[in-house]
C-alpha cells in the first residue's frame, strides 16, 4: 500500500513543482488606456501637453512638454507647412531666368530641388517625432493621474532625472545614437529613394519634378533610353556586381577576419602584437585616406602599373 501512495505523492509533488505559465500583461499606462480612462486633465493634456503634470505638481516636467509643443507649433506654422507643401512641386523654376519679383526686374535662380526634397522629408520626420513626444506626454499625464488616485505622490523632477541616469540609463544612452542614425542614415536614405521617382538625371541635377514610375519603366525595358544611357542589361550588370561586392565585403570583414583572429591566437604564432597592429591600422586610418593611396597606386604611373 505504501508504494502506490508514495508514487502518487511523488507525481503530485512533481506536478506542483512545475511553475505556472507566465502571462504577459498589457501596459497599464498605454495610450489606449489613457484615451479611455483619462480624467479631464489627462484629456486636456492631449491638447495642451504637460497640463496634467503641472496640475498634479510636476511643474518642471509639464513645463518642458508645454514649451516643446509651443516651439513645434510655432516652427510648423511659420516654416513647416510651407516646406511640406513644396514637396508637391519640387522644381517650379527649372532654369535660371529673369522676371519681375515684387515689382523689381531681377534674376530668378532655378529651384534647388534637392534642397526642397531634403527639407520636406526632414519636416515629415519632425512631425513624426512630435507625434511620439505627444504620446509620451499623454501617457505621462495618465501615469501621474493613476499614482494620485492610488494615494501615491508623483515623482519629482529630480527623481525623474535620477531614473534616467540609473534605472533607465539604457534609454538615455541610446537616445543620441538613435537620433544620429535617423538624421545621418535614415533621412538621406529616404531622400535618395524618393529621388528615384523624379526626373533627376545628368540634364536635371538642380531643378526636377516628380515622374512616378516612368523611370523604373525605362530602366526595366529592354530598349532602355539612349539619352540617359540606361537599359535592363546595364541594370542587371550593376546589380550583379553589387551582389558580388556585398558578398565579398561581408565575407572579408567577418568570416575571414574571424579566421585570421583564430590563427593569431594560436600558441605557435609569433609577433602577435605586430599582426594585431597591422589589422588595427585598417580601422584607425580613415577610409578616404586609404582610397587616395590605392588611387595613386593604380594610376597609369603608379607603383602597381
CA-nearest of 49, 52, 27 to 38 is 52
b/e sequence 139-148, b meaning 16+ C-beta within 10 Å: bbbbbbbbeb
Segment 17-23 mean pLDDT? 49
- pLDDT category, 1, cuts 50, 70, 90? very low
Segment 254-269 mean pLDDT? 85
Residue 21 has pLDDT above 70, yes or no: no
b/e sequence 23-38, b meaning 16+ C-beta within 10 Å: eeeeeebebeebeeeb
Give the pLDDT score at 182.
Answer: 93
Cross-strand partners of 230: 225
Give the pLDDT score at 24.
Answer: 46
Helices (H), ranges, the chain? 2-17, 31-37, 40-45, 51-55, 59-75, 81-85, 113-149, 157-165, 169-181, 187-195, 214-219, 232-250, 256-264, 272-284, 287-297
pLDDT digits (tens, 9 = 90+) for 110-140: 678 888 999 999 999 999 999 999 999 999 9
pLDDT digits (tens, 9 = 90+) for 38-94: 889 989 999 999 999 999 989 999 999 999 999 999 999 999 999 999 898 887 666
pLDDT digits (tens, 9 = 90+) for 270-300: 888 888 888 888 777 777 888 888 888 889 8
Residue 13 has pLDDT above 60, yes or no: no
CA-nearest of 167, 159, 155 to 58 is 155
pTM of the model: 0.71
Q: Give the Cβ contact number of residue 130 at 10 Å.
A: 18
Contacts of 92 (CB under 8 A, 6+ apart): 111
Segment 214-236 mean pLDDT? 80
Give the pLDDT score at 9.
Answer: 47
8 Å CB contact between 93 and 207: yes
Amino acid at each position: 500500500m505504501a508504494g502506490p501512495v508514495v508514487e502518487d505523492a511523488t507525481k503530485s509533488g512533481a506536478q506542483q513543482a512545475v511553475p505556472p505559465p507566465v502571462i504577459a500583461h498589457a501596459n497599464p499606462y498605454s495610450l489606449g488606456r489613457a484615451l479611455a480612462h483619462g480624467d479631464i486633465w489627462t484629456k486636456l493634456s492631449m491638447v495642451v501637453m504637460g497640463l496634467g503634470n503641472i496640475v498634479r505638481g510636476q511643474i518642471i516636467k509639464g513645463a518642458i512638454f508645454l514649451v516643446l509643443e509651443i516651439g513645434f507649433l510655432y516652427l510648423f506654422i511659420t516654416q513647416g507647412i510651407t516646406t511640406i507643401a513644396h514637396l508637391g512641386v519640387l522644381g517650379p523654376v527649372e532654369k535660371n531666368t529673369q522676371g519681375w519679383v515684387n515689382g523689381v526686374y531681377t534674376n530668378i535662380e532655378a529651384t534647388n530641388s534637392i534642397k526642397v526634397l531634403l527639407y520636406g522629408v526632414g519636416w515629415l520626420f519632425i512631425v513624426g517625432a512630435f507625434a511620439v513626444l505627444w504620446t509620451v506626454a499623454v501617457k505621462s499625464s495618465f501615469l501621474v493621474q493613476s499614482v494620485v488616485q492610488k494615494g501615491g505622490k508623483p515623482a519629482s523632477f529630480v527623481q525623474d532625472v535620477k531614473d534616467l541616469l540609473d534605472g533607465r540609463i539604457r534609454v538615455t544612452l541610446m537616445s543620441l545614437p538613435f537620433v544620429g542614425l535617423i538624421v545621418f542614415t535614415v533621412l538621406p536614405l529616404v531622400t535618395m529613394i524618393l529621388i528615384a521617382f523624379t526626373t533627376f538625371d545628368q540634364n536635371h541635377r538642380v531643378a526636377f519634378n516628380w515622374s512616378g514610375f516612368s523611370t523604373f519603366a525605362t530602366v526595366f525595358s529592354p530598349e532602355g533610353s539612349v539619352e540617359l544611357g540606361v537599359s535592363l542589361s546595364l541594370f542587371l550588370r550593376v546589380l550583379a556586381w553589387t551582389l558580388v561586392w556585398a558578398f565579398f565585403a561581408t565575407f572579408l570583414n567577418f568570416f575571414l577576419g574571424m579566421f585570421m583572429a583564430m590563427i593569431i591566437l594560436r600558441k605557435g604564432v609569433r609577433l602577435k602584437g605586430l599582426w594585431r597592429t597591422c589589422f588595427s591600422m585598417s580601422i584607425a586610418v580613415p577610409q578616404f585616406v586609404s582610397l587616395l593611396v590605392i588611387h595613386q597606386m593604380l594610376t597609369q604611373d603608379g607603383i602597381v602599373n
